[in-house]
Amino acid sequence: MASSKYPIPTQLFIKDKLVDSHSPERYSLYNPVDESLFCDKVQYAAAEDVEAAVEAAVAAFNGPWRTYSGAQRGEVLQKLAVLLEEYKEELGWLDGTPIGKPVSAATMEIEFGASILRYYAGWTDKYAGESFPADDGFVKIVRHEPLGVTVGINPWNGPIGTLCLKLGPALATGNVMIIKPSEKTPFGTVRFAELATRAGIVPPGVIQALPGAGATGALLSSHMKVRKVSFTGSVATGRRIQQAASNSNMKRVTLELGGKSPSAVFDDCNFENAVFWSTLAITQNSGQACFAASRLFVQESIADKFIAAFAQAMKEASNKLGDPTKPETQLGPLADSSQFARVSSFFQQDAGQTKVLVGGKQHGERGFYWEPTILLNPKEDALVYREEIFGPVVCVKTFKDEADFIRMANDTEFGLMAGVFTQDINRAMRLSAELDSGVVGINCVSYINIQAPFGGTKQSGVGREMGHYALRCFTEPKTVLIK
């Protein structure tokens, strides 16, 4: 194992200390830049560890944390935001190195996470209930009460950012949270939970970290004392979590799942703007983003001109691939060998029958780098066109008119993100209503904002994150009737 820039927390964080897993097994992570060993002592939480963490969470929820006022919880979130910023270099290194995330992107993600916590700090004493007049002889009062022990099951592509999207509204509304980071990026979460508790920012048991793979997530999803699971990841895993929640205690779930997001470029668009966003949408985080606009539709009348400009932009994006430790690097490798194998598999199947306009192969001879790729006019039943690839690969097709675009855009089981590039505001608003998507960008795409809800339709998910909508997902309304 190579020398570490910072100590690597390979253990679990339960209640108020780092502890060894009850399982003797240890796992390895490799740097995707050169396939060198990063750590071979990673621990996964076993059943006994899950039980200990849940009991600590129950005690914290029923104990000191329950006495915190809204204003005090707001102070906690503000302090957690400061903590993130203070340790952003360490946390970024711990989570970015195992997946080859550029240091610039890792730092930006943590700063975004801090802004999320500050946003929810402002909500803690402002999430009001309701009351209704006694015009029928009854005073009606509605209170929003915390659920109790909640669980955040997070992905590897944005570990700290996703942590904050779940932890912020959970703590703001008075819940406690056990976080299960991805087995690919466990270290930043464990370190953050340790720092927050040992600094006295939160009482022991309020924030805990249980690294693990699917088995650990299954234990948490089926636990009878867990009242809520918020999951970000694949459709297949989300389905299993929903089933486990239903089969156990009907715990609440929020599921932010996959996408195959469409984007339309009309002939009246701001040309340069459309090229910029279309490129960014499929190359940010090397295409490893659930909301990546991976199906690009271009109006026939400007197809040749736009596709040529887009192809040039994607070729230039390949020049941004490089060493993730260098500040100037914007694109890193795919996360690991399994992710590289997944992307490659599409080019061993039906993607090989589609014209590859740009890319379509490994970049360089070492590491898991993949060139930004454009596939032109794939068949509508092709796997590369219908399934989420999770790499810098975009399918480009042409369309005649609005109806043609809507038909193709909505012909999918996903509905997370969509984009429309046009300077006709009437068309933009008309299409935003017709698209089956949780988020629609006008003259932008693959962008989210903390003030507005984020989530998907169809198999892209259940529930919403961000904005005050996330607060609803972490509270239960209670009606009080007074005669």
- Taking Cα atoms as reference points, which of 216, 302, 243, 253 lies closest to residue 43? 216
Helix, strand, coil % (nearest 5) of the chain?
A: 40, 20, 40
Helical residues (DSSP H) of 222-302, grouped into ranges? 235-247, 271-283
- Taking Cα atoms as reference points, which of 407, 357, 420, 400 lies closest to residue 380? 407
Give the DSSP H or E segment for 256: strand 252-256
Provide the edge-to-edge strand list for the sheet that holds 393-399.
Answer: 355-358, 373-376, 393-399, 295-299, 262-265, 417-421, 439-442
Candidates 109, 183, 194, 256; catalytic one: 256
Residue 438 identity (one-letter amino acid): G
Q: Are 363 and 371 in contact (CB under 8 A)?
A: yes
Q: How many CB atoms lie within 10 A of CB 483?
A: 6
Query: How far apart are the C-alpha atoms of 393 and 385, rounded to whole Å?
Result: 10
Both tokens assigned to 136 = 């029928």
Q: How many CB atoms lie within 10 A of CB 425?
A: 9
Residue 227 identity (one-letter amino acid): R
- Known active-site residue 85: no
- Taking Cα atoms as reference points, which of 31, 77, 94, 22 lies closest to residue 471? 77
Task: Please give the positions annotated as active site.
Answer: 256
